[in-house]
Amino acid sequence: MLPNSRKPIPSSSLVKHNEVYIWAIGLLLLLCTTVEGRQVGGGGGGGGGSWVNVEYRAVNCRKHSAFVTDFGAKGDGKTLNTNAFQSAVDHLSKLAPDGGAQLIVPPGRWLTGSFSLTSHFTLYLHKDAVLLASQSVKDYPVLAPLPSYGKGRDAPAGNNGTIDGQGEWWWEKYKAKELTETRPYLIELMYSNNVQITNLTLRDSPNWNVHPVYCSDLIIHGLTILAPTHSKNTDGIDPDSCSNVWIENNYIVSGDDCIAIKSGWDEYGIKFNMPTQHVIIRHLTCISPTSATIALGSEMSGGIRDVRAEHITAIDTESGVRIKTSPGRGAFVKDIYVRQMTMKTMKYVFWMTGHYGSDPDNHFNPRALPDVENINYRDMVAENVTMAANLEGIKGDAFKGVCVSNVTIGLSKKPKEIQWNCTDVVGVTSRVTPRACGSLRETNGLECPFPEDKLPIESVQLRACLAPALHK
């Protein structure tokens, strides 16, 4: 998070009337800087020690390197290192105009509370480095609510190092209703551009794992996100009022949606008016028995448009793509394209809900109806499915332009009697098994569209950078 971004943080729709503890880990890579050459192990740190270099890929390499141990951190799993991390970041932030800096976290178990990142900065976790989130509420400052929610709710890279949220403690407190604020998110990015989060393992987040809000140009690649499937609200990746987002090669097992695309809540989100748009999700594997592979909403009051998802695998997951909205949300969910999904053991393949409910307060306008249109699903195979589709639009505000083609759904031993349950949705289908409902008119030879062009974010090149690996 940017130091000047101690601005409101959203509460999720699941935690009302609350504010948030924040556990901020993020790293900013600003594309606008050109780094001419690099000076490995130069600049602030290393203390003259010897090291070998490990290569990693990033939008920009940094001129200066420092080890978190240079700032007094101890990787013993016991020492609280919040001050060491924060003073390292504060110190290295001064190098931003001179090619930026990377902060190296060597192998070890580094206990810390929330700390903020800075611009032109890389937080690099070595393979055997684990950031352990403190289990004390006082290590997480409470922030004000996000403006697009109305109430309380530049990037790490690594060689598959781990950020462990030690969330069990928080899940228990939440269940026992002992918390007055929203639980912390593991990686929170606000008002940040050109952010890369790559090759990390995120484990047991207290709440959502990765939450970029009011951000643009995000690369989120190679994350392994693991949380018990019974843990509450451990969403994988939640782009929220963000543009140009490239999510690729992620493996997510969680207790909530693997990916949830959001953009603010009812009258607050309508007023703030910042959509999530131009998102590509590719090569995602999701396991989430009580939630969606990809959810759109329910907070979508700034609008959601141009989402492209392909090569998606879901196993033992409640639904494939799920659209969630409600009267009062306003805005839109449109131009959604999904293809090449493989699913096994699902309750629903397709799910749309126009009466999700859950409002921040009583001041929402029930006549602010969302437009859901141009929703395209094609080339999918599913097995062991209980119900193909449960699609419920809004009376007088039907979901329009729903297109489904070349989708084969194999049913479980005890399937629902109705396979396609459609209310207030209209659209077209072709080559769909089992046969779709009548309001999705069968049209021979139809192929639902998927954009041919690439998003600009997809042509960003990652270059080879070096991180010093040994510190003696």
Ligand X SMILES: *[C@@H]1O[C@H](CO)[C@@H](O)[C@H](O)[C@H]1NC(C)=O
Residue ranges in contact with ligand X by CB under 6 A: 56-57, 160, 198-199, 201, 221-222, 224, 340, 345, 379, 381, 384, 386, 390, 392, 406, 412, 416, 418, 421, 423, 462
Using CB atoms within 10 Å of the CB of residue 136, give its burial: 0 to 12 exposed, 13 to 18 middle, 19+ buried: exposed
Cα–Cα distance for residue pair 298/331, rounded to 1 Å:
12
CB of 354 to ligand X, least distance (A): 8
Residue identified by tokens 């007094």 is: 72
Residues 84/71, Cβ–Cβ less than 8 Å: yes
Closest CA to 196 of 102, 81, 91: 102
- Give kind and range of the element (H or E) at residue 382: strand 371-392
Cα–Cα distance for residue pair 212/128, rounded to 1 Å:
26
- For 334, other C-beta atoms within 10 Å of its C-beta total 20
Cα–Cα distance for residue pair 224/164, rounded to 1 Å:
12
- Give kind and range of the element (H or E) at residue 82: helix 82-93
- 160 vs 313 by CB, closer to ligand X: 160
- 241 vs 390 by CB, closer to ligand X: 390
Furthest-apart CA atoms within the chain: distance in Å: 73
- 153 vs 339 by CB, closer to ligand X: 339
DSSP string, 422-458: EESEEEEEEEEES---TTEEE-TT-------SPPGGG
CB of 74 to ligand X, least distance (A): 23
The DSSP bridge partners found for residue 149 are none
- 90 vs 397 by CB, closer to ligand X: 397
CB of 340 to ligand X, least distance (A): 5
CB of 412 to ligand X, least distance (A): 5
- 50 vs 408 by CB, closer to ligand X: 408
Residues 466/319, Cβ–Cβ less than 8 Å: no
CB of 219 to ligand X, least distance (A): 8
Cα–Cα distance for residue pair 195/343, rounded to 1 Å:
31
CB of 267 to ligand X, least distance (A): 26
Cβ burial 19-57 (10 Å sphere, 16+ → b, else e) = bbbbbbbbbbbbeebebeebebbebbbbeeeebeebebb
- 153 vs 203 by CB, closer to ligand X: 203
> Which residue numbers are catalytic?
256
- Give kind and range of the element (H or E) at residue 194: strand 193-203
Residues 205/19, Cβ–Cβ less than 8 Å: no
- 95 vs 448 by CB, closer to ligand X: 448
Q: Provide the 3-class DSSP secondary structure of residue 367.
A: coil
CB of 369 to ligand X, least distance (A): 16
- 11 vs 291 by CB, closer to ligand X: 291
What are the two backbone dihedrals, phi and then psi, of residue 47, each rounded to the nearest 5 degrees?
Answer: 55, 30
CB of 226 to ligand X, least distance (A): 7
Peptide bond into 298 cis (omega under 30): yes
Peptide bond into 434 cis (omega under 30): yes
- 142 vs 411 by CB, closer to ligand X: 411
- For 379, other C-beta atoms within 10 Å of its C-beta total 18
